[in-house]
Amino acid sequence: MPNAIQDQLVAGLLLWSLASLGSATIGLYARPNEFWRSFWFMSGVWGLIDGVIGWFASIGESRPASELLPILRLNTGLDVLYVVVGVALLSRKKPPLKGFGLAVVIQGAFLLLFDGYYWWRCTGIVG
């Protein structure tokens, strides 16, 4: 049985993954300094991880909104942690750590909005 909300969630995550990987590939060739190399590298790593998660979710069994809700709650909490860690890395002096930090903040902020939106949608369905 198709599950529209899960399908949309997976499609969105896979699109974000492709955008992250594509921009990272281009960025790694276009930006030679340490800050940008580390930024694009970390963005690519996150894109790869998001893609693997999205791929496994796409081939797995369909879950109703009531089963997605606890997963989205956990993910949203982790997303907040990612942003905090990214901000901590941004406060460091070394350019590579700052680059990693900016990438983690951007990825974490996107995922926070993304997971938060689907948490809200699932809550509306479940009640």
Asked if 10 and 58 touch (Cβ cutoff 8 Å), the reply is yes
SS3 at position 77 = helix
- How many domains is the chain partitioned into structurally? 1
Q: What is the pLDDT of residue 125?
A: 87
- pTM of full prediction above 0.75: yes
Instruction: Tell me the residue range of the domain where 51 lies.
Output: 4-126
pLDDT tens digit at each of 127 positions of the chain: 457 899 999 999 999 999 999 999 999 998 779 999 999 999 999 999 999 999 999 999 989 999 999 999 999 999 999 999 999 999 999 999 999 999 999 999 999 999 999 999 999 888 7
> What's the DSSP call for residue 56?
H
Q: What is the pLDDT of residue 126?
A: 83
Q: What is the pLDDT of residue 10?
A: 96
Asked if 54 and 13 touch (Cβ cutoff 8 Å), the reply is yes
Task: Give whole-number Cα distances, 30 to 38, 45, 101, in Å.
Answer: 13, 17, 19
Phi-psi region of 92 (alpha: psi -120 to 50; beta: other; left: phi over 0): beta
Asked if 114 and 12 touch (Cβ cutoff 8 Å), the reply is yes
Asked if 104 and 85 touch (Cβ cutoff 8 Å), the reply is yes
Q: What is the pLDDT of residue 1?
A: 43
Determine the Cα–Cα distance for residues 46 and 49; give it in Å rounded to an integer.
5
